[in-house]
């Protein structure tokens, strides 16, 4: 099976960020996932952060490559195509008037020019769209309507279509998952257009019947209030119009979603308040738990079988304003992998990484006396004191590996903490007060208090300490080259963190 996931607009980028983080925990298979970002605003802050998380993932994945059967962490290869903009590579002014050649249209076909004036105000015709479609589906639809079938022969579409054809030719099951908001500008206008273009293009290439296409529509789950004087521009997203936009879009999709084999809808009645931004790098909204659900929807579709007859499936939470483990799809499976990853991050950032920094300062031979587990993964520098079969701790590649793993842990920690900060909702997955203390220094041992709803007995919880984990690192009977040094340490610790 090969999965293609396309994130459209700022919200689509945030969904791809969540998919990247969820993939790291091992909740997807070992089959490659291909990611494509679509946004008219190529400097969008949400897009930038998502691509940064993907870059961190790929560096860590490359570092930890090897036997994935034993280590669920980072087992899924993620590949990304270039960001695609419906404006293409043009350097012309990005506004509707220029895009539709309004002056020429008005002269040669006054009727169409007058219709254009009826459909779009002067401000909408002239406003700069290099920051996206400003939350206006009508503007986005105008631009997206000009994307034709032949444009899919350009990059990155030619590579996407070519790879899909190759996958189908190799007998693989191919699935395409589109995601974005239904209430904004780029997502609301791009989801139907891109879905139909793909449907038509694959039909033309005689492979459509072997490809399944799904779409995730994000219903309103956040809002914002522009501060006085913050925006002098009359054309920008207005959250008070989100519900109206959603109603219109849903009415359209009732009869116009035939191109999708499967449809997912996600929303939240409690709207989180984000900082207002027209676009560009200031549009960097906080992570939301709905995007985590979006990643789980993509996971669900990855195992979708057309042979399995499913009716409409609903998921909701048990208590209003609360998200607990039981409110997630496949809660036992999701909980096991997410807990494993989060416990590892807690131990690595709060203890292992600071101790490895101490080893650099005080010298490995002296440090090994205080931390016996150290000598199971690193040489103390050769001679009588070092195991020549182990890598030298001070080698540049070992220090780089520590930096890469720590960077991934920090990025994951940011993501999981943001989920727990959603205003208006009480997220009861992990103990926020325990996680937020991680700042790169050794902390008190609260590992057993990390997971909300931990039903282990008191004895088991009392024995669940970071110190006990480090004692268990002394047993390296299951570690064989090249799983030594920093990667061997990280993999061993990851498995030991599993409940």
Q: In this predicted structure, what is the pLDDT of residue 234?
A: 58
* 2-88+133-315 under CATH 2.60.120, yes or no: no
pLDDT for residue 483: 67
pLDDT at position 74: 93
For the cut 70, the answer to whether the pLDDT of residue 307 exceeds it is no
Q: Say whether pLDDT at 240 is over 50.
A: yes
276-290, 295-309, 339-353, 425-439: segment of lowest average pLDDT:
276-290
* pLDDT reported for residue 293: 96
| Placement of tokens 């004895």 in the chain | 459
pLDDT at 270 over 90: no
Give yes or no for residue 91 having a pLDDT over 90: no
Average pLDDT value over all residues in the chain:
83
Residue 443 in this model has a pLDDT that exceeds 90 = no
118 or 62, higher pLDDT: 62
CA distances from 340 to 16, 80, 173 (A): 21, 26, 30
Cβ atoms 448, 464 nearer than 8 A: yes
Who has greater pLDDT, 389 or 489?
489
Tokens 């015709």 correspond to 125
Q: Kindly state the percentage of the chain with pLDDT values over 70.
A: 75
The answer on pLDDT for 230 being more than 70 is no
Q: Is pLDDT of 173 > 50?
A: yes
- How sure is the predictor about 235, in pLDDT bands with cuts at 50, 70 and 90? very low
Distance CA 410, CA 403 (A): 10
Question: Which stretch of 163-167, 302-306, 375-379, 395-399 has the lowest confidence by average pLDDT?
Answer: 302-306
Domain boundaries, the chain: 2-88+133-315, 95-128, 333-496
Q: What's phi and psi for 139, nearest 5 deg?
A: -65, -45
Q: Are 419 and 428 in contact (CB under 8 A)?
A: no
pLDDT digits over 139-150, tens only?
666 666 666 666
Name the residue with higher pLDDT: 241 or 449: 449
pLDDT at 445: 85
In sequence order, what are the beta bridge partners of 175?
Answer: 3, 212
Most confident of 100-114, 229-243, 288-302: 288-302
Mean pLDDT across 397-401: 96
pTM of the predicted protein model = 0.87
| Pair of tokens at residue 260 | 């999708």
| Distances in whole angstroms, Cα of residue 182 to Cα of each of 216, 218, 278 | 9, 6, 18
Q: What is the pLDDT of residue 476?
A: 63
pLDDT at residue 276 tops 50: no
């Amino acid at each position: 099976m090969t999965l293609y996931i396309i994130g459209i607009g700022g919200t689509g980028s945030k969904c791809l960020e969540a998919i990247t983080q969820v993939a790291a925990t091992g909740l997807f298979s070992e089959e490659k996932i291909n990611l494509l970002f679509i946004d008219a605003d190529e400097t969008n802050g949400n897009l930038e952060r998502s691509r940064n998380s993907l870059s961190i993932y790929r560096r860590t994945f490359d570092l930890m490559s090897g036997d994935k059967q034993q280590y669920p962490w980072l087992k899924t290869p993620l590949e990304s195509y270039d960001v695609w903009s419906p404006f293409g590579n043009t350097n012309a002014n990005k506004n509707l008037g220029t895009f539709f050649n309004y002056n020429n249209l008005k002269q040669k076909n006054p009727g169409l020019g007058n219709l254009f004036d009826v459909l779009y105000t002067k401000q909408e015709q002239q406003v700069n769209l290099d920051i996206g479609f400003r939350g206006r589906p009508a503007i986005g639809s105008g631009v997206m309507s000009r994307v034709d079938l032949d444009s899919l022969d350009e990059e990155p579409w030619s590579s996407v279509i070519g790879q899909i054809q190759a996958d189908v030719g190799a007998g693989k099951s191919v699935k395409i998952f589109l995601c974005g908001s239904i209430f904004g500008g780029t997502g609301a206008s791009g989801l139907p257009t891109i879905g139909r273009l793909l449907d038509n293009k694959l039909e033309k290439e005689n492979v459509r019947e072997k490809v399944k296409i799904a779409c995730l529509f994000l219903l309103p789950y956040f809002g914002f209030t522009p501060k006085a004087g913050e925006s002098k521009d009359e054309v920008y997203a207005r959250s008070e119009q989100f519900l109206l936009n959603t109603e219109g879009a849903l009415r359209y999709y009732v009869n116009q979603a035939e191109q999708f084999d499967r449809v997912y809808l996600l929303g939240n009645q409690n709207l989180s308040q984000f900082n207002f931004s027209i676009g560009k790098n200031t549009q960097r909204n906080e992570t939301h738990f709905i995007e985590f659900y979006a990643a789980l929807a993509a996971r669900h579709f990855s195992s979708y079988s057309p042979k399995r007859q499913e009716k409409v499936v609903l998921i909701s939470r048990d208590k209003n304003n609360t998200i607990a483990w039981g409110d997630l799809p496949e809660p036992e499976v999701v909980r096991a992998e997410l807990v494993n990853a989060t416990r590892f991050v807690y131990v690595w950032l709060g203890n292992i990484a600071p101790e490895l920094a101490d080893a650099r300062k005080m010298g490995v031979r002296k440090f090994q006396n205080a931390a016996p587990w150290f000598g199971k993964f690193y040489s103390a520098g050769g001679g009588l004191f070092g195991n020549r079969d182990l890598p030298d701790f001070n080698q540049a590649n070992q220090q780089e590996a520590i930096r890469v793993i720590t960077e991934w842990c920090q990025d994951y920690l940011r993501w999981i903490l943001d989920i727990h900060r959603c205003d208006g909702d009480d997220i009861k997955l992990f103990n926020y007060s325990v996680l937020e203390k991680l700042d790169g220094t050794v902390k008190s041992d609260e590992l057993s208090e990390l997971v909300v709803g931990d039903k282990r007995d008191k004895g088991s919880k009392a024995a669940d300490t970071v110190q006990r984990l480090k004692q268990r690192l002394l047993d390296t009977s299951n570690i064989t080259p090249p799983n030594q040094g920093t990667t061997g340490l990280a993999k061993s610790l990851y498995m030991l963190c599993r409940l």
